[in-house]
Structure formats: C-alpha cells, structure tokens
Amino acid sequence: MFSSETAIKVEGLSKCYQIYDKPHDRLKQSLFPRLRTMTGRPPQQYFREFWALRDVSFEVKKGETVGIIGRNGSGKSTLLQMICGTVNPSGGSIKVNGRVAALLELGAGFHPEFTGRENVYMAATLYGLTQAEISSRFEQIATFADIGDFIEQPVKTYSSGMYVRLAFAVIAHVDADILLVDEALAVGDAVFTQKCMRFIREFQKRGTLLFVSHDTAAVQNLCESAIWLSHGRVQMTGKSREVSESYLQFTLQEVYGEEAKLMSVASDQPARGPGTHTSIVDPHPVPIVDYGAVASVQDNTKAATGWKTGRAEIQSVSLTKLSGGPEGVYEGGEPVRMTVRAKAHGPLDKPVIGFLMRDRLGQDLFGENTFPFTDRIPVGIKSDTIFEAVFEFRLPMLPNGQYAVMASLADGDRHDNIQHHWMHDALIVNVASSKVRYGLVGIPFERVELQVKND
C-alpha cells in the first residue's frame, strides 16, 4: 500500500545496462537473436550485462531528509535519475507522491545550444509550471543565479559554477515537494554555496530531500537517515551517523586490504552525563603543533544579501590582526578584532550586534553578540548615530576551504527582539595550506606526548 504520508516508495528496483565491446555488436543483437529464434535455434547474446542497481527497496516519508552514500559506480546517480523519471528501470517499481525537482550531475537537464533564459523556460515547463508562472518568477530565478548577462548566452559557454547556479535557481523556484540533489553543491563559490544551504535548510521544514554525497560529514549534518549503496545493492539503512560510520570502516578496510583487519567495537561503558568530568593536565604554555594555515579575508558587504527594516543598518564589517606580521594574512591562533560598524536611522533602546562564522554547509562554527556587555551596561542609541561593536578573540585554526561571516543588528533582549539588519556573507574567509586534519576547527595544542608506563 502507498500511504499518503509516503513521499517515495521504491520496491525491488533494478537497472541493467547492455555493454557492447564493438559497435557492430549492437546491430547483431538487434537482428541475429530474432533470426535464430525463427529458425528454431537458441538466441545468442552479443552484449555483457552491467547491473547498476539490483533489488533496491526503501521508503521515504514526507518531510524526511535522507542521504545516499556509496563509492563511485555504486548506483547513486542511477537511482536518482530513475526517481525523477529520466531513466527507466529494468525491474521493480517507483512511486512518488508530489512534484519532484532534481539537481543532478553537470550536463543534465539543460540544452547546451539554448541560452540560460531559454533553458529556464524549458526546465520549469518540464516541472509543470505554465508560461505565465515562469515569466512571473523569472526575475527571482535570475537574481538567485546571479550570473549577469550570461543569462542571455548559450549555456555551453558557462563554467561549471555558472551552470550549477542556474540549475539550482530553477529548482528553488518551482514549488517542488521532493528535492533530489546529487553532489552538485561541491561546485561553486562560498557565497552561492551558503545561499543554496540556506534554501535547503528552509526547504527541509516543508519538503522531502534526497541528498547524494561523498561527504559523510555533510550527510550527518543534513540528514536524519541514510542509505548506503554498494555495487548496486543496499548495503545498509538507518540513522545517518550509524550508516556513515559503517561506510567509513568499510572503505578503510578496502584501503588496508590484508594489511589490517578492522573489527567493530561497541562501548561497554555508559555514556558520560553532563556532570561527568575527567582530569585535565596543566598545559604547557607554548603550542607545539604547527597547523600552517594561510587565510585571507574578503570584504563582501556590498554584495551581501539578507534583510533590513530601515530602522538601523550595518555599514561595515572588518577583521584586523592585533599581532605582528603582514596585514591581511592570518595563520590561525593569533589575536584578532572583529569590528561591526552600524548607523541608527531611529532610536534604539537595547541595540545588539552579533556575528557568526559558518562553513560551506552553513554550520555555525563560532560567534558572539554584544548582549553580555549591554546586559550589564545598557547602551541606548539616538537617531542618526554611528556606533560600533568590537569583538577581540583568537582566530581558530580552520581546515582548507571557504567560510562566511554573518553579521546582524537587533534591538531588544535575548527572548524579544527585532532584527533590523541581517547580513549574510558579510566577509568571506579563504583558508589554504592548512594542516588541520580533524574536526571543523583546530585548537592550539600545547602538549602532545607519547609515554611508556610500566604496570
């Protein structure tokens, strides 16, 4: 039975491709088996079978976000293509409840000779929108894509980043119930990736998402559950963390081969509660791990998106070094100052300014606001006054990648406030040559030792 609460139901799904070693074998296959059957002889096969998927079954409830992981060639993209209807299955069934929008691999969905505008109309029509609906939304789509005059150029002239921008802009404006995303967010700059992640997180509140990625951290962050495909079959389903951990162990075992055997270990100790503490050795004052990061900061306030009420606005956001060394180059661990300058166009009784630094998935890494200060020392701002918030801290060590700083200006307290200006992507931080290998941020380790202890 297909429940009204079910978004996608896949039963016994299989896909077989015929692989021909030589071009003329395809012609032989179309003629000779039939002739042999007519003459009473058993038919001969001129191709090899490749099963991209075999006997795959699962169900996705409405409103769920499900990740699909697996190595290249495991059938992830084929599965999404069959769900959105661009590839026919060899066996099994797919039932979908709602409008499906898909962002598949680069090259899927757009005609290379058509302009961006023509492809928007073509793609949106395939999603079920009328010409009038597309015309009314075209400016929103073009603004979201933000590719300028290239919207009037053939998409064959686009870079991969521009292609993804336009494709994502279309699926973000077709009122889809189910969204399929296949690794496409790995392409593009930090600002656009942040914009896409904001849309995806908003979409998760009302729709169903199937997310294909090799990034298990992204799957754990976005998805409640996950499906692990291996050689076209379902290897494991369950909570995204459990599936991701099992997949990691499996892939490492393949790398190690016979050199080492990995055995699953279950903890026999109860989980530590919030009041449980372990002893901490007094640290040595000098950091001994060199992370070697090189970071640069780009002012993006003029291109930043967000919203404002007109009561007050952020004028600038800056990050400066408080230590020596070349200005504009950061290594991580050094003291820095984040300054957010604003102007009040009307009186503010309890102004609060804050910032957050986010990674490419939109995850909040760290941040602060001025409420701890204004809660102790209230500061009122008169109309037409310029004021600043200053935050001094040590910049964390960050892995390679691009990061975005969000800045906000509100009036009120922790529980009751109005955000008068919210600025996405005010600063873009580019980190290169980082030796941070584990986690979302690095910390300055001051003691790392290996000691031999005799019983």
| Domain CATH for 200 | 3.40.50.300
The verdict on 216 and 354 lying in the same domain is no
The verdict on 11 and 132 lying in the same domain is yes
Q: Which long-range contacts (CB under 8 A, 24 or more apart) does 234-243 make?
A: 234/56, 234/57, 234/58, 235/70, 237/58, 240/67, 243/67, 243/69
Cα–chain center distance at 66: 13
The verdict on 239 and 302 lying in the same domain is no
Dihedral of CA 389/390/396/397: which sign?
positive
Give the count of beta carbons closer than 10 Å to the beta carbon of residue 419. Answer: 16
The verdict on 226 and 372 lying in the same domain is no
The verdict on 226 and 369 lying in the same domain is no
Identity of residue 193: T
3-state secondary structure of 354: strand
The verdict on 208 and 345 lying in the same domain is no
The verdict on 214 and 342 lying in the same domain is no
Contact 411, 350 (CB under 8 A): yes
Copy the structure tokens of residue 405: 């700083």
Is residue 58 assigned to a domain? yes
Residues 6+ apart with CB under 8 A from 199: 168, 172
Domain boundaries, position 191 = 6-254
Is residue 438 assigned to a domain? no
Which CATH number covers residue 372? 2.70.50.60
pLDDT at residue 290, as a whole number: 59
The verdict on 329 and 420 lying in the same domain is yes
Contact 392, 337 (CB under 8 A): yes
Total of domains in the chain = 2
Q: Which residue has the tokens 């692989």?
A: 19
Burial, 34: exposed, middle or buried (Cβ in 10 Å; 0-12, 13-18, 19+)? Answer: exposed
Domain final residue, candidates 233, 254, 275: 254
Domain final residue, candidates 206, 234, 254: 254
Q: How far is CA 213 from CA 152, 236, 360, in A?
A: 31, 16, 14
Q: Which residue has the tokens 């169900």?
A: 59
Question: DSSP string of 309-346?
Answer: -SSEEEEEEEEEESSSS-TTEE-SSSEEEEEEEEEESS
H or E stretch at 160: helix 160-171
Contact 108, 212 (CB under 8 A): no
The interaxial angle of helices 116-126 and 160-171, nearest 10 deg, is: 40
Residues 6+ apart with CB under 8 A from 281: 447
3-state secondary structure of 302: coil
Phi, psi of 157 (to 5 degrees): -90, 0
Alpha-carbon gap, residue 309 to 59, rounded angstroms: 44
The verdict on 29 and 174 lying in the same domain is yes
pLDDT at residue 186, as a whole number: 62
- Of the candidates 162, 104, 185, 227, the one whose C-alpha atom is nearest the C-alpha of residue 359 is 185
The verdict on 87 and 172 lying in the same domain is yes
pLDDT beneath 50: ranges in the chain: 265-286, 288
The verdict on 225 and 359 lying in the same domain is no
pLDDT at residue 280, as a whole number: 35
The verdict on 178 and 65 lying in the same domain is yes
Is residue 81 assigned to a domain? yes
Alpha-carbon gap, residue 82 to 189, rounded angstroms: 29
